[in-house]
Amino acid sequence: MKKAPALTTAVLIGVSALSLAACSSDRGPKHDRDGRGHAGKEFRKGGMERGFKDLNLTEEQKTKIRAIMEEGRDNRTQQPDENRREAHRRQIENYRAAEQNLLKNPAFDEAAARNLIAQREQGMEEQRRQRAEFELQQLKKRHAVFQVLTPEQQQKWLEKQNERGNGKQRP
């Protein structure tokens, strides 16, 4: 009967290791080295994002849209993705170490536990703020691009967006 808990533990460790390996693997062919998707590549190569291909844009419109899309690239955080990942990894390691110290202590330290949870929540709140700011910047950029389009192009673009939202087209 003592084999059952050991076997269960071994299975859980195996599943955890597999899921960790899957999460930490390369992001796949959809993303290039700097983590941006295909649309970023198309703009860097002088092409247009797939949402604009069928709109018959003039050269002037293409130039304006490219300028809008490039404008935000300089405003990104100065810290490279690899440094951010490393900092995040260190934060997780520090949290786990503090949690393990809390668990190892013979007496439960509620104040330390509350402090640990508060630190974690603060980090999560900062991530939410950063994400909200990123979304705001993206929406501003999309608005500026939309204003470059003619009314007919705007209508066609909105129709395509609605089709994509309804699942008629696969992204």
Domain boundaries, the chain: 59-161
Q: Could you tell me the pTM of the whole model?
A: 0.56
- 74-103 pLDDT, tens digit each: 655 555 667 878 888 898 999 999 999 999
* 3-class SS of residue 35: coil
Give me the pLDDT at residue 133, please: 93
The second-level CATH assignment, the architecture, of 59-161 is Up-down Bundle (1.20)
Which segments of the chain have a pLDDT < 50?
1, 24-47, 171
Give me the pLDDT at residue 93, please: 93
Cα angle, residue 110 at apex, residues 108 and 114 outer, rounded to 5°: 135
* 3-class SS of residue 66: helix
